[in-house]
Amino acid sequence: MSLDATARESNIRDSIKKYFKDALRTANGIDVTFDRQLTFPDVLVPSTTTNRWVLINFGPMEIKHLSEIYLDVVCCTRQDNEGYKLAHLRDLVLGYLSDTSRTDSFARIPFYRSYENQAWELLGAFVVTDVQESGQLQASDGTKYKILSVKLRTASKI
């Protein structure tokens, strides 16, 4: 028996990656990396230089009728003496994790059944139900960063 599309980790990861790539990289030109430490994007793509990027780390997932998915969204900047760039990056990212046009202010992230060789099928949405924010931190290489710990919920068939 195969696993329902709403309970597949591959669909969850692909959908979240698509959302952040579309919102940050495509719409705003901000580099996005996944499941890494504070790797400076120059290490990943040596021909480019950036002073701001976002790192997404997938955390625990509890797949049940109302599934819970946890992410750490790390906003990172370089050459940012007073944290000015970091504050703007945090505001931009948090804007994609909330929706003030809704009465509950919860953002919806489209949840897809991903395919390698055909159009993706929309299954529903992840609802951003909680965002916990760290204070401003600084790595030994001078990278300033903030961690947004995000809790998503979605209906799943198990």
Residue 11 belongs to domain spanning: 5-155
Residue 147 pairs in a beta bridge with 74
Residue 121: pLDDT above 50? yes
Report which residue type is found at 73: V
CA geometry: angle 154, 58, 70, nearest 5 deg: 40
User: What is the count of structural domains for the chain?
Assistant: 1
> If you average pLDDT over every residue of the chain, what do you get?
92
Model confidence over 57-115: pLDDT tens digits?
999 999 999 999 999 999 999 999 899 999 999 999 999 999 999 998 999 999 999 99
pLDDT surpassing 60 at residue 43:
no
pLDDT computed for residue 109 by the predictor? 98
Report the pLDDT value the prediction gives residue 40, as an integer from 0 to 100. 57
Predicted confidence band of residue 46 (pLDDT cuts 50, 70, 90): very low
In the prediction, which pLDDT does 2 show? 87
Please compute the mean of the pLDDT values over residues 128-138 and round it to a whole number: 96
127: domain CATH number? 3.30.2000.20
Phi, psi of 77 (to 5 degrees): -140, 155
